[in-house]
């Protein structure tokens, strides 16, 4: 009987202690999982984009991006890709995002019909493939998709063409204030903060031009100091455009 009672007490103690043996590990795992989710939620993503290139200044632009370990997305014109082939190849080889901006950059030609824009993007894609051996489905239409890219035009470009339409939510206006670098800087930072405060990921519009080289280092330095992580646009990223067209 004493032996039976001793065995019973031992078994009872084991039963009481058994859950406690796993509690610290379980709590730790839960904390770790919560920490990872919080970290992912708090990640400050930003997309930096450049239109109208490549140009004679693309090499310097890429040097600056490389200096700050930043990747951007380039919406390029067909003739420019063929003219500046080395820069086009470098953009591809260094892992930047690839987008198309058409051929003419003339509204009266690009938006002449529902199919004129599609043909320009297809032609630009052929130029990209010819020069660098790759293609892309990301497009940004000249001067943005509103108001020129009518619904019927979008249906052709995105439906029949299978492209993904991108505009922006942060306009640097670097094309307008080419000599006022502080104005460009202020435009970027104020709009980035405004967009981020609304819980939206910033998509910054800049241009592949000489004037932008003067302000870009300051913009990158500040954004990195604020904890932003630069990523490139891809076909699996939900498009940001003025029409809110998610295709």
Residue 5, domain extent:
1-42
Q: Are residue 37 and residue 75 in the same domain, yes or no?
A: no
Catalytic residue positions, numbered: 51, 207
Per-residue pLDDT of the chain (247 residues; tens, 9 = 90+): 444 444 544 544 444 444 444 444 443 444 444 344 334 446 899 999 999 999 999 999 999 999 999 999 999 999 999 999 999 999 999 999 999 999 999 999 999 999 999 999 999 999 999 999 999 999 999 999 999 999 999 999 999 999 999 999 999 999 999 999 999 999 999 999 999 999 999 999 999 999 999 999 999 999 999 999 999 999 999 999 999 999 9
DSSP code for 232: -
Residues 8 and 80 reside in one and the same domain: no
Q: Please name the residues in contact with 218: beta carbons below 8 A apart, sequence gap of 6 or more.
A: 181, 185
Q: How far apart are the first and last CA of the chain?
A: 78
Structural domain count, the chain:
2
Distance CA 156, CA 20 (A): 63
214 and 129 fall within a common domain: yes
Look up the pTM and report it: 0.83
């Amino acid at each position: 009987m004493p032996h039976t009672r001793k065995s019973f007490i031992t078994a009872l103690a084991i039963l009481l202690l058994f859950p406690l043996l796993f509690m610290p590990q379980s709590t730790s795992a839960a904390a770790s999982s919560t920490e990872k989710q919080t970290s992912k939620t708090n990640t400050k993503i930003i997309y930096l984009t450049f239109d109208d290139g490549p140009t004679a200044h693309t090499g310097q632009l890429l040097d600056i991006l490389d200096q700050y370990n930043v990747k951007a997305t380039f919406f390029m014109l067909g003739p420019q890709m063929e003219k500046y082939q080395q820069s086009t190849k470098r953009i591809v080889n260094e892992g930047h995002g690839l987008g198309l901006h058409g051929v003419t950059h003339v509204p009266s030609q690009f938006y002449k019909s529902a199919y004129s824009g599609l043909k320009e993007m297809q032609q630009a894609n052929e130029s990209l493939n010819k020069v660098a051996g790759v293609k892309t489905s990301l497009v940004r239409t000249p001067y943005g998709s509103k108001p020129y890219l009518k619904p019927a035009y979008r249906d052709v470009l995105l439906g029949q063409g299978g492209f993904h339409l991108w505009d922006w939510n942060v306009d640097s206006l670097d094309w307008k204030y080419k000599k006022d670098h502080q104005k460009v800087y202020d435009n970027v930072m104020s709009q980035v903060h405004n967009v981020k405060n609304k819980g939206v990921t910033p998509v910054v519009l800049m241009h592949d031009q000489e004037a932008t080289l003067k302000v870009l280092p300051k913009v990158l330095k500040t954004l990195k100091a604020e904890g932003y992580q630069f990523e490139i646009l891809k076909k699996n990223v939900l498009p940001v455009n003025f029409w809110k067209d998610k295709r």
